[in-house]
């Protein structure tokens, strides 16, 4: 279940290279995902953030070949790395080249999915128990009926639901319980990866918090990787090890969560971060991002973000930037012409994050940024700020660099996570 890598360091579990996904065929096909490169390290949480229509769900479902018609994958590779274990798990498989039989075998046993609306994702006329055991029956032929039932009961208890619910139907459970069932269902075969498509968006904040907390606990205990899709960047800052930001079908920035939060490199990320109040520390003005995402049928030339970007330059309007590597240790990139070293980087996008100095902590995904040293001197790179909205902001970029704004405890740990025990987990 674990990927190869140096001992103590998680290796890549899923590598997406140059993925392209279209909707439809022919000249009026819509390019929903363009040249996506993504790496999910085993046992880590990768957050995929973006606005509606950015292509994040498309990317995630295309990775597992679950995208519905008229979705078509038109290029790239999706490499799933296995570890020791059954023949199916050995080596690497390109999911895009796999046939139906191979996919069926891999599905759920290696990659599971949790969808946004549990009400719609659970079959309304089938009992909860049956929906938990059907995967067991399909993938674990050696289990008999009793064993399956026991496992189903165990799974429910693992997420804090009584096993009585096995014989109930989805409509008889509350929203939070249903989402928990979905999580239990996803973990039935102890997959290496769980893809979560906005799993808590439809829930109230209290339930959302509970479920995310439990999820974090489960993730730590069972060590599965998570691809967490959401439009809410603030969630990811707490939950994810690394974050990938998507816009108009392209991945614009990828970094460790804390790095992204404190030292964004892409103007879009900056805009997103300024769209929600800081988790801790003094408040800063919310500015958001003017304009709206482009119509994917007629995207703008060059960088898709340039119409809304305060730092847009001439080249941005004509040519799409490649992904430039930024930050220590690799694995951090920003797809922006500002990063090509031929231009001055504005102060807001040039700050040093917690992992940016020499001798800084390991690359993204190794450990939670909670363990990053707290004593980094946080100072702006010193480059002169380019004219742009930065000049108009009352606090400039200083707020993010303000040492006082560094929350105690590293900023990315879940509050009171340790105090929520699962044994007496919430039974809602």
Partner 1 sequence: MAVTTTEPAAVAVEAAPPLRGRRLRLPRSPKVLIGLGLLIVFLILAVVGPLIAPYNPSADLAASGTPQAPSAAHWLGTTQTQQDVLSQLLAGGRSTIVVSFLAGVVATIIAVVVGVAAGYLGGLADDLLSMLANIFLVMPALLLLIVIFGFLPASSNDLLIGAIIALTGWAWGARVLRAQTLSLRNRDYVESARITGESTVRIIGWEIVPNLLPIIASSFLFTVLYGVGTYTAIAYLGLVNIDPHWSWGGMLFWAQSVNAQVNGYWWWYIPPGLAVALLGTALALLNFGIDEFINPRLRAAGLTRRRARQAGIPARFPLGVTPVVRLPAGSPAGRPPGNPPTARPPADLPAARPPAGAGQVDTR
Partner 2 sequence: MLARKLPFYALTFVIAITIDFFIPRLMPGNALDAVLAKAGSQMGSPQALHALEKLYGIDNPAGLPTQYAQFWESLAHGNLGISTSSYPTPVTSVIATALPWTVALVGAATVISFVLGTGIGILVAWRRGTWLDSLLPVTTFFQAAPYFFLAFLAIELFAVKLGWFPYGLGQNQLDYQSGLAPGHIADLLDHAALPALTIVVASAAGWMVGMRNQMLTTMDEDYVLIAQAKGLPKQKVIWYAARNAILPSVSGFSLAIGFVVSGALLTEIVFSYPGIGFVLYQAVINHDAPLMQGIFLIITLAVLAANLIADFAYLILDPRTRQEA
- 332 is a contact residue toward partner 1 (CB under 8 A): yes
Q: Report the C-alpha gap between 420 and 209 in whole angstroms.
A: 11
- 100 is a contact residue toward partner 1 (CB under 8 A): yes
Q: Report the C-alpha gap between 323 and 107 in whole angstroms.
A: 31
Closest approach, Cβ 237 to partner 1, in A, equals 21
Which of residues 51, 53, 96, 426 is near partner 1 by CB under 8 A? 96
Residues 167-186 that bind partner 2 (CB under 8 A): 169, 171-172
Which of residues 69, 141, 286, 423 is near partner 1 by CB under 8 A? 69
Asked if 267 and 309 count as a contact pair (C-beta separation under 8 A), the reply is: yes
Which stretches does DSSP call E strand in 24-103? Answer: 30-41, 45-50, 71-81, 92-94
Residues across the chain: 428
Cβ-based nearer residue to partner 1, 89 or 253: 253
Closest approach, Cβ 282 to partner 2, in A, equals 42
Identify what 120 binds: partner 1, partner 2, none; CB under 5 to 8 Å per kind: partner 2
313: left (phi over 0), alpha (psi -120 to 50) or beta: beta
Asked if 80 and 92 count as a contact pair (C-beta separation under 8 A), the reply is: yes
* 315 SS3 class: helix
Which of residues 66, 163, 315, 417 is near partner 1 by CB under 8 A? 66
- 64 is a contact residue toward partner 2 (CB under 8 A): yes
Residues 248-277 that bind partner 1 (CB under 8 A): 254
Closest approach, Cβ 215 to partner 1, in A, equals 26
- 299 is a contact residue toward partner 1 (CB under 8 A): yes
Closest approach, Cβ 149 to partner 1, in A, equals 27
Sign of CA dihedral 126, 129, 130, 135: positive
CB neighbour list of residue 132: distance below 8 Å, 6 or more residues apart: 151, 152, 155, 156, 166, 181, 184, 185, 188
Q: Report the C-alpha gap between 171 and 122 in whole angstroms.
A: 9
Helix (H) or strand (E) holding 63: helix 56-63
- 297 is a contact residue toward partner 2 (CB under 8 A): no
- 138 is a contact residue toward partner 2 (CB under 8 A): yes
- 117 is a contact residue toward partner 2 (CB under 8 A): yes
Residue whose tokens read 């949790």: 114
Asked if 83 and 93 count as a contact pair (C-beta separation under 8 A), the reply is: no
What residues make contact with partner 1 under the rule CB under 8 A?
9, 11-12, 17, 20, 22, 24-27, 29, 31, 34-35, 37, 39, 61-62, 65-75, 96-97, 100, 103, 254, 299-304, 319-320, 322-333, 339-341, 345, 350, 352, 356-358, 362-363, 381
What residues make contact with partner 2 under the rule CB under 8 A?
64, 66, 68, 103-109, 112-113, 115, 117, 120-126, 134-135, 138-139, 169, 171-172
């Amino acid at each position: 279940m674990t990927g190869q890598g140096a001992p103590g360091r998680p290796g890549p579990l899923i590598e997406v290279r140059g993925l392209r996904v279209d909707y439809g065929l022919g000249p009026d096909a819509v390019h929903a995902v363009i040249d996506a490169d993504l790496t999910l390290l085993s046992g880590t949480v990768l957050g995929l953030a973006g606005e509606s229509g950015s292509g994040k769900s498309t990317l995630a479902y295309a990775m597992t070949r679950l995208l519905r018609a008229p979705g078509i994958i038109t290029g790239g590779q999706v490499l799933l790395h296995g570890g020791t274990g059954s023949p199916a798990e050995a080596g690497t498989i390109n999911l895009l080249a796999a046939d139906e039989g191979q996919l069926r075998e891999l599905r759920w046993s290696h990659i599971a999915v949790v969808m946004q609306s549990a009400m719609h994702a659970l079959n309304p006329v089938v009992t909860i128990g049956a929906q938990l055991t059907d995967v067991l029956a399909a993938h674990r032929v050696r289990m008999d009926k009793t064993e399956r039932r026991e496992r189903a009961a165990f799974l429910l208890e693992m997420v804090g639901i009584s096993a009585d619910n096995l014989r109930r139907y989805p409509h008889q459970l509350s929203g939070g319980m249903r989402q928990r069932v979905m999580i239990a269902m996803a973990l039935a075969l102890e997959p290496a990866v769980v893809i979560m498509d906005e799993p808590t968006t439809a829930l109230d904040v209290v339930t959302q918090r509970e479920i995310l907390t439990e999820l974090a606990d489960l993730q730590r205990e069972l060590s599965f990787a998570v691809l967490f899709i959401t439009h809410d960047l603030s969630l990811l800052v707490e939950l994810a090890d690394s974050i990938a930001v998507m816009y108009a079908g392209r991945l614009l920035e990828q970094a460790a969560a804390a790095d992204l939060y404190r030292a964004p490199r892409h103007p879009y990320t900056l805009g997103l971060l300024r769209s929600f109040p800081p988790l801790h520390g003094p408040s800063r003005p919310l500015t958001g991002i003017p304009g709206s995402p482009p119509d994917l049928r007629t995207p703008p030339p060059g960088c898709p973000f340039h119409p809304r970007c305060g730092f847009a330059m001439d080249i941005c309007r004509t040519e799409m930037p490649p992904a430039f590597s930024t930050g220590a240790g690799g694995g951090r990139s920003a797809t922006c012409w500002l990063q090509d070293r031929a231009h001055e980087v504005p102060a807001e996008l040039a700050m040093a994050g917690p992992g940016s100095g020499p001798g800084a902590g390991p690359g993204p995904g190794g450990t939670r940024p909670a363990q990053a040293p707290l004593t980094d001197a946080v100072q702006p790179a010193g480059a002169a700020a380019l004219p742009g909205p930065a000049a108009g902001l009352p606090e400039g970029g200083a707020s993010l660099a303000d040492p006082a704004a560094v929350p105690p405890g590293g900023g990315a740990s879940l509050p009171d996570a340790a105090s929520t025990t699962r044994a007496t987990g919430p039974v809602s």
